[in-house]
Amino acid sequence: MKIACLGGGPAGLYFAISMKLRDAAHDITVFERNKPDDTFGWGVVLSDETFENLAKNDPLSAGEIRRHFAYWDDIAVHYRGQKIVSTGHGFSGIARKKLLQLLQQRARGLGIELRFETEVASAAELAKTHDLVVAADGLNSRTRNEFAEHFKPAIETRKNKFVWLGTHQKFDDAFTFIFEETEHGWIWAHAYQFDADTATFIVECADDTWQKFGFGTMSQEENCRTCETIFAKYLGGHRLMSNAAHVRGSAWLNFPRVLCETWSYENIVLMGDAAATAHFSVGSGTKLAMESAIAMANYLRSEPTMAAAFAKYEDARRTEVLRLQSAARNSLEWFEDVERYLHLDPVQFNYSLLTRSQRISHENLRLRDKKWLEGAEAWFQRLAGAGDNTVRRPMFAPFRLRDMRLKNRIVVSPMAQYKAIDGRPTDWHLVHYGERAKGGAGLVCIEMTCVSPEGRITPGCTGMYAPAHEAAWQRIVDFVHAETDAKICCQLGHSGAKGSTQLGWEEMDAPLQSGNWPVLAPSAIAWSPRNQIARAMTRADMDLVRDQFVASAEMAARCNFDMLEIHCAHGYLLSSFITPLTNKRTDAYGGSLENRMRYPLEIFHAVRAVWPAEKPISVRISANDWVGSDGIEPRDAVAISRMLQEAGVDICDVSAGQTSIAARPVYGRMFQTPFSDRIRNETGMATMAVGNIFEPDHVNSILMAGRADLVCLARPHLADPYWTLHAAAKLGDRGEAWPPPYYAGREQLYRLAGSAEPVPTAV
């Protein structure tokens, strides 16, 4: 095959090598506009896993690369005058120039023609004279633009500015992050050694800081001098150097996240940065480029046609790229939002930084550096008031809200059971909530309990509007208090336009077959075209519903619930006041967010006035309508939380969605946690995270990184009422109390889990 590799970066060179190794008869030319050793950038990082892939593909070049590796195990973080070091991270770095020289040497040895200082004007021209053109022409790929209508690239330019510098200062003991506060804002460096006397030194900051420094108008020389002054105390008198001489003007960049819809067109295929990029903070661009080269060479050999090989290549590599881009997005967003975390204690800041891409979990960190993690866990427990020497996972830390003390951070999230009779909870509820309270969670939140018959979602929903309801709830609360050390929270709500619908396991949110009741809402809008149009509430309706909330809260107080939650999420009445999707009012309760929040806040104040002062109140919100800027977005959720905080709400239960049938949620593990993170760290308000959190590891990383104070699990508690006790047994933690009649079961469970010996919980 006659092959042209357009671009002599890692992708182009390594693909040429990989093809020639598979068939020496291939006629391969690499076209590169630069001179052989005229390259931008400094060092690149490769993981052990990537190195193994390279070694399998070509032991010879891998051996040469390995000989030039700089290794390090530690990550050091300089932040607020402290240097925190953790270990076990295992990286290796190599000079980009060295890597390219080694690949060039190998390519020449295999008989590949390398044409330097050759600018390719059009891949289409090459395609006429070659069987295959691999467009490995980098980030600003001309080929990608030339055939943009076929490749359909999506390019997202990220907010932060960065510049890739080098230095002879040694950073050979650790991959080093340095955060510096300046008169123009925070600026930080990612530094790592890549050969005996040179280190990469990437400087990054927010656009605002960059503007204020005037970096855009400085020469490259001035840029380096200014950065030297900022980071002087870490540079030991060494200079910062730029080798971006080929770049016109400022060498600062905004990272472009690139992903093409298709990667091939006729006999042209995109590879490396031309097809997809991964942010430098996860250090995977070179990995992607070289592993894609291996995959393409394999498929061209295994598949009957070039088209089939392209299809396989795209299929396999896209999955890998998306996985990496997702981690890279988490990581780059962390740096974009870093100012949100700059109030954190250095221990928590470090943890948040290390786990930012969500690829490193809590227990994975323990494998890397047990001592450091245990120190961090002890810090967390100390802060939680557990005592100075406690080393337990964050999920087992106590928590206090007003006078309510929770034994741990696990919450049974509210879940409608649809088993009530005329609003009255039954023996089902006694057994259901009793079991969950026995199961070890610190707090059990009962389902949305409605303030009036018309405020119910379904005929099976529980209520708190009749003496029989109060008596039945009292029995449940008494059981929980008498037999367990869990606390119990009453969630009060009104269904609004989503009322008068079928039971959860029938046709959810659909009107009843018969016996529908009229529904109320801020505006005369139906939940869906199938549901009835709600009646827009008058002031008299608003007074009535407010008084119903107050009466229910008084009943809940008499039942001795430990906490109250007002349901302002999921499209029910109070939620439908908050979101502009369903609140079209033109009076003081519609329009601006302040106006839309007015009624929910009126309810809160009225309820707070009758709820015992020593007991907390939480509010559950939908932090994202998932419809874009027409609805509530996370930034609005921050404003909502600020209003709740100012009103005296103790904790915000951060849910999302279910406010519109047009919603397009983006699901995934812990998918709503970023909203809780943002609210907690931007407002300082306590939060509960919820949504697809199902592993103890998720819970621990959320808590330890300061993304929430409490973690709610809903569906996991349907499957396993004993989720917390089972998690403790799996983790070998003996600190959680079991009901005495179950002690024999506990011993067997711990024995089966492999931790028969009591695990010390204090050092």
Ligand X SMILES: Cc1cc2nc3c(=O)[nH]c(=O)nc-3n(C[C@H](O)[C@H](O)[C@H](O)COP(=O)(O)OP(=O)(O)OC[C@H]3O[C@@H](n4cnc5c(N)ncnc54)[C@H](O)[C@@H]3O)c2cc1C
- Answer yes or no: are the C-beta atoms of 675 and 694 closer than 8 Å: no
Give strand pairing partners of 162.
204, 253
According to the binding rule CB under 6 A, does residue 262 interact with ligand FMN?
no
Q: Where would I find the H helices in 147-262?
A: 148-151, 207-213, 220-230, 232-235
Place of tokens 């290794």: 71
According to the binding rule CB under 6 A, does residue 136 interact with ligand X?
yes
In the complex, what is the shortest distance from the CB of residue 414 to ligand FMN, in angstroms, rounded to a whole number?
4
In the complex, what is the shortest distance from the CB of residue 426 to ligand FMN, in angstroms, rounded to a whole number?
16
For ligand FMN, the binding residues in 311-340 under the rule CB under 6 A are none
Choose the one of ligand FMN, ligand X, none that binds residue 34, judging by a C-beta under 5 to 8 angstroms depending on kind.
ligand X
3-state secondary structure of 68: coil
Choose the one of ligand X, ligand FMN, none that binds residue 704, judging by a C-beta under 5 to 8 angstroms depending on kind.
none
Residue from 29, 34, 101, 426 binding ligand X (CB under 6 A): 34
Q: Is 666 exposed, middle or buried (0-12, 13-18, 19+ CB in 10 A)?
A: exposed
Residue from 153, 166, 283, 394 binding ligand X (CB under 6 A): 283
Residue from 75, 100, 401, 448 binding ligand FMN (CB under 6 A): 448
In the complex, what is the shortest distance from the CB of residue 503 to ligand FMN, in angstroms, rounded to a whole number?
10
Number of residues that bind ligand FMN (CB under 6 A): 20
Q: Which is nearer to ligand X, 138 or 674 (CB)?
A: 138
Choose the one of ligand FMN, ligand X, none that binds residue 273, judging by a C-beta under 5 to 8 angstroms depending on kind.
ligand X
In the complex, what is the shortest distance from the CB of residue 140 to ligand X, in angstroms, rounded to a whole number?
7
The pair of structure tokens assigned to 305 is 């046609």
Pairwise CA distance, residues 694 & 723, whole Å: 9
Residues 680, 686, 690, 695: is their CA dihedral positive or negative?
positive
Q: Which is nearer to ligand X, 43 or 590 (CB)?
A: 43
| Listed ranges 261-269, 281-289, 580-588, 608-616: which one lies at the site for ligand X (CB under 6 A) | 281-289
In the complex, what is the shortest distance from the CB of residue 274 to ligand X, in angstroms, rounded to a whole number?
6
Backbone dihedral angles phi then psi of residue 748, each to the nearest 5 degrees: -65, -40
Residue from 4, 17, 45, 258 binding ligand X (CB under 6 A): 45
- Answer yes or no: are the C-beta atoms of 106 and 81 closer than 8 Å: no
- Answer yes or no: are the C-beta atoms of 423 and 469 closer than 8 Å: yes
For ligand FMN, the binding residues in 555-584 under the rule CB under 6 A are 567, 569
Maximum CA pair distance of the chain? 90
The pair of structure tokens assigned to 579 is 């979101």
According to the binding rule CB under 6 A, does residue 297 interact with ligand X?
no
Q: Which amino acid is at 682?
A: E
Give strand pairing partners of 501.
511
- Answer yes or no: are the C-beta atoms of 152 and 261 closer than 8 Å: yes
Backbone dihedral angles phi then psi of residue 104, each to the nearest 5 degrees: -60, -45
Pairwise CA distance, residues 427 & 418, whole Å: 13
Q: Which is nearer to ligand FMN, 142 or 498 (CB)?
A: 498
3-state secondary structure of 259: strand
Neighbouring residues of 408: CB distance < 8 A, sequence distance ≥ 6: 395, 396, 397, 398, 399, 440, 441, 442, 724, 736
Choose the one of ligand FMN, ligand X, none that binds residue 289, judging by a C-beta under 5 to 8 angstroms depending on kind.
ligand X
In the complex, what is the shortest distance from the CB of residue 126 to ligand X, in angstroms, rounded to a whole number?
10
In the complex, what is the shortest distance from the CB of residue 557 to ligand X, in angstroms, rounded to a whole number?
59
In the complex, what is the shortest distance from the CB of residue 164 to ligand X, in angstroms, rounded to a whole number?
4
Q: Where would I find the H helices in 187-284?
A: 207-213, 220-230, 232-235
Backbone dihedral angles phi then psi of residue 607, each to the nearest 5 degrees: -70, -45
| Listed ranges 166-174, 269-277, 316-324, 655-663: which one lies at the site for ligand X (CB under 6 A) | 269-277
Rg (CA), the chain: 30
According to the binding rule CB under 6 A, does residue 32 interact with ligand X?
yes
**Order of strands across the sheet that contains 70-72:** 43-46, 91-95, 70-72
Residue from 20, 26, 106, 142 binding ligand X (CB under 6 A): 142
Beta strands in 119-174 (DSSP E): 132-135, 153-167
Chain Cα centroid distance, residue 458:
34
Residue from 139, 360, 468, 606 binding ligand X (CB under 6 A): 139
Q: Which is nearer to ligand X, 39 or 484 (CB)?
A: 39
Residue from 394, 414, 440, 571 binding ligand FMN (CB under 6 A): 414
The closest of 710, 647, 654 to 682, measured between CA atoms, is 654
What is the rounded (10 degree) CA torsion for 364, 366, 372, 375? Answer: 120
According to the binding rule CB under 6 A, does residue 612 interact with ligand FMN?
no
In the complex, what is the shortest distance from the CB of residue 288 to ligand FMN, in angstroms, rounded to a whole number?
32
CA angle 193, 205, 324 (to 5 degrees): 65
Residue from 97, 287, 567, 707 binding ligand X (CB under 6 A): 287
According to the binding rule CB under 6 A, does residue 30 interact with ligand FMN?
no
The closest of 309, 295, 293, 301 to 23, measured between CA atoms, is 301
According to the binding rule CB under 6 A, does residue 713 interact with ligand FMN?
yes
CA angle 569, 571, 573 (to 5 degrees): 90
Pairwise CA distance, residues 216 & 248, whole Å: 12
Site string for ligand X, 192-231 (x = CB under 6 A): ----------x-----------------------------
Q: In terms of DSSP bridges, do strands 175-182 and 75-79 run parallel, antiparallel, or are they unpaired? A: parallel
Residue-wise DSSP of 14-50: HHHHHHHHH-TT-EEEEE-SS-TT-----EEEE-HHH
Choose the one of ligand FMN, ligand X, none that binds residue 142, judging by a C-beta under 5 to 8 angstroms depending on kind.
ligand X
Q: Which is nearer to ligand FMN, 432 or 615 (CB)?
A: 432
Residue from 3, 271, 702, 714 binding ligand FMN (CB under 6 A): 714
Residue from 36, 504, 634, 732 binding ligand FMN (CB under 6 A): 504
Residue from 58, 137, 204, 454 binding ligand X (CB under 6 A): 137
Pairwise CA distance, residues 259 & 319, whole Å: 12
3-state secondary structure of 426: coil
Residue from 307, 715, 747, 751 binding ligand FMN (CB under 6 A): 715
Number of residues that bind ligand X (CB under 6 A): 32
Pairwise CA distance, residues 698 & 676, whole Å: 14
Residue from 4, 5, 7, 462 binding ligand X (CB under 6 A): 7
Site string for ligand FMN, 640-659 (x = CB under 6 A): ---------------x----
Backbone dihedral angles phi then psi of residue 200, each to the nearest 5 degrees: -75, 145
Choose the one of ligand FMN, ligand X, none that binds residue 189, judging by a C-beta under 5 to 8 angstroms depending on kind.
none
Residue from 8, 440, 522, 721 binding ligand X (CB under 6 A): 8
According to the binding rule CB under 6 A, does residue 153 interact with ligand X?
no
Residue from 447, 562, 733, 736 binding ligand FMN (CB under 6 A): 447
In the complex, what is the shortest distance from the CB of residue 262 to ligand X, in angstroms, rounded to a whole number?
17
The pair of structure tokens assigned to 528 is 């869906």
Residue from 338, 416, 689, 708 binding ligand FMN (CB under 6 A): 416
Beta strands in 599-709 (DSSP E): 617-622, 651-655, 687-690
According to the binding rule CB under 6 A, does residue 608 interact with ligand X?
no
Q: Catalytic residues, which ones?
A: 572
According to the binding rule CB under 6 A, does residue 44 interact with ligand X?
yes
Chain Cα centroid distance, residue 612:
37
In the complex, what is the shortest distance from the CB of residue 24 to ligand X, in angstroms, rounded to a whole number?
23
Choose the one of ligand FMN, ligand X, none that binds residue 591, judging by a C-beta under 5 to 8 angstroms depending on kind.
none
- Residues forming the site for ligand FMN (CB under 6 A): 413-416, 447-448, 491, 504, 567, 569, 620, 655, 690-693, 713-716
Which residues bind to ligand X, rule: CB under 6 A?
7-12, 31-34, 41, 44-45, 119-120, 136-139, 142, 164, 202, 272-274, 280, 283-287, 289
